[in-house]
Amino acid sequence: MALLPMLTMVMEMTLVAQELSIPILAWFHQFLQRTFFFEELHLSVGQEASAVGACGHLRQDDVITSNHRGHGHCLAKGVPPEEMIAELMAREAGTNRGRAGSMHVADPDLGVYGANGIVGAGMPIAVGAATSQRISRDDRVTVAFFGDGAVAQGAFHESLNLASVHLLPVVFFCENNGWAEFSKSSDQHRATLAERAAGYGVRHSSVDGGDVAAVADLMGHVIESVRRGKGPWVVEAVTHRARGHYEGDAQKYRDDTGPHVDPLERCRIHLAAGGVSDDEITAVETAVDARLMAAVESARAAPLPSATSVLESVTVPEPVVVETPVDKAREPWKMMDALRSAMAHSMEDDDNVFLVGVDIAEAPFAITRGLVDDFGVERVRSTPISETAVVGTAVGAAMDGKRPVAEIMYLDFIGVCFDQILNQAAKLHYMTGGKATLPLVIRTQFGAGRSSGSQHSQSLEALLAHIPGLTVVMPSNPADAYGLLRTSIESPNPVIFIENRLTYGMKGPVVGRDHRVPLGRASIPRTGTSVTVVSYSRMVNEALDAATTLESEGISVEVIDLRTIAPIDWETIEQSVKKTSRLVVAHEAVRDHGIGAEIAARAASDWFWHLDAPVVRVGAEFSPPPYSPGVEKEWLPCAEDVAEAVRTTARA
């Protein structure tokens, strides 16, 4: 598109066009300031030209991610101002039904995969969207908007590096306004963005971010190159932050708040030079003014979300899954074989399923061994050691229609990528008012008992189970591992699938290809009448061994295998407790503040009158996992600990 016709179209404010105009953005901000005040409102006044120029060459099926100052990006990509104003006023008619607010506006239908309140967090998600585009072999592109302050984040490094290594179709668009919150950018960086881009082998271009013509001209060339598969690009638009970090910011730290050249005025100058009359420009501004005033009044009159809607869109309802019986007479296979088969069969059945993780093609634990030979490097994607980028890849690709299975090598490593789990995967469906889809699985493993030390042996499932929006699964045997993993990959929700590495060699009967296990449904591998023992993962097998020992002592133990610990199958536990009147909860994790504590609390509050003895919890002592083998053995709960707990409650 020639420059002057595009500028004219921008000023005419074509309602259907994706390039919403600079006047819309400028007037939008003015109306926000006139009509209501939010302290946590982060305006992009002064940066309008970069948003319009960057998005002017994007199609609706292209993708953007944004930051906390993302109003302009979202509008320029096509989000109607009426919906956005209603969202900022927390109205049900808002873009995200009032669930997102100022910092989190998203509309996946328009390719807006979310503004983001976490600095730098949109870049790994953009890498995920670009990964999906690469796997699909289409010519879509992704643009990740971020501010200069985000360059200090690890997510920036991981995203650029992974995009470069995998030659992804993504543009990293930095709006460099010279301020990272309350600090000068020059005080925070010793290397320029151009130097950083060169270090990753990524092309870099700089542009005057206040000149919509210059931005549009550069981005036309950049987008064309990225569409043709030439790899990522860093664009640095030098802009001016006309307002403070947030509305209400006194800006006493600033010395550059004086007059600056308004991008809107510069656009007027370009149009006048191109022969557009003052009357035509005024007509567009008048129409924009009227539209936004009407939008503000409409939003004011619109209803707020119902107070009873608080639980809506936390998760997507799971499809009905019928569990098929396991034929125990069939030949055995190992847990690791069941897991590998579940992934292979899922990939055969659905082209949208792919695997991603650090060295996943090389299969450090042998679980994914050979899958790259069957499905190729595009669908079995080994990455650098970049857990944030790995999980971000899963989030962005899931939003883009894929079903990623991301591997985090050790459960302990979720600490390095926790934002993408806690604030992105778990919350985006809710914060978008149900618009975003997050069908992803994060596979990981844990397990003490091999002297792996405190940073490779932790049981952190309670930490994950405490996060609304996540499903947490922990299988105890090969049949369940296969069925649960197949169901998890087919789930519409983000699932954390935690395996115990000490069970990888465990054998059990082979199940059929169609075998599925419903999420959130416990099993009862052993019935009994004296005491209920609730457990999960490896400790189920310890509980079963304890039950066998106790049978000779005249104690009949019913063992419940939770299988899914978030959500917990409360009904199955309750029915068992009503039958036995005694309850023991056993897990490998430390006893304090764990899943056992939650179950004990529920028993005390809801089933108190059915209990004939106090609930007993079995777990590790409250310390990090020890390294020394003898100390670790003493620390780690075992079958005898479960048996002693059962004897205690049986005697009470």
Six-digit token string for 202: 């990524």
The burial class, CB within 10 Å (0-12 / 13-18 / 19+), for 552 is exposed
DSSP type of residue 506: -
Ramachandran sector of residue 204 (left: φ over 0; alpha: ψ -120 to 50; beta: rest): beta
Largest CA distance in the chain: 97
Residues 157 and 200: their CA atoms lie apart, in Å, by 9
> What is the gyration radius of the CA atoms in the chain, in angstroms?
28
Contact between 276 and 392 under an 8 Å Cβ cutoff? The reply is no
Q: Which of 456, 490, 587, 632 is catalytic?
A: 456
Cβ partners under 8 Å of residue 28, min gap 6: 71, 75, 81, 84, 85, 292
- Which residue stretches of 590-628 are H helix? 595-606
* Backbone φ and ψ of 486, nearest 5°: -60, -45
Q: Which of 82, 285, 387, 461 is catalytic?
A: 387
C-alpha atoms less than 13 angstroms from C-alpha of 521 in its C-beta half-sphere:
14
Give the C-alpha distances (Å, rounded to integers) separating 602 from 570, 573, 608. Answer: 9, 10, 9
Residues 41 and 157: their CA atoms lie apart, in Å, by 28
Residues 335 and 500: their CA atoms lie apart, in Å, by 10
Q: List, as one string, the DSSP characters of 297-351.
A: HHHHHSPPPPGGGTTTTSSPPPPP-PPPPP-TTSPEEEHHHHHHHHHHHHHHH-T
Q: Does 456 participate in catalysis according to the annotation?
A: yes
Would you call 537 helix, strand, or coil by DSSP?
A: coil
Q: Does 48 participate in catalysis according to the annotation?
A: no
- The catalytic site residues sit at 387, 456
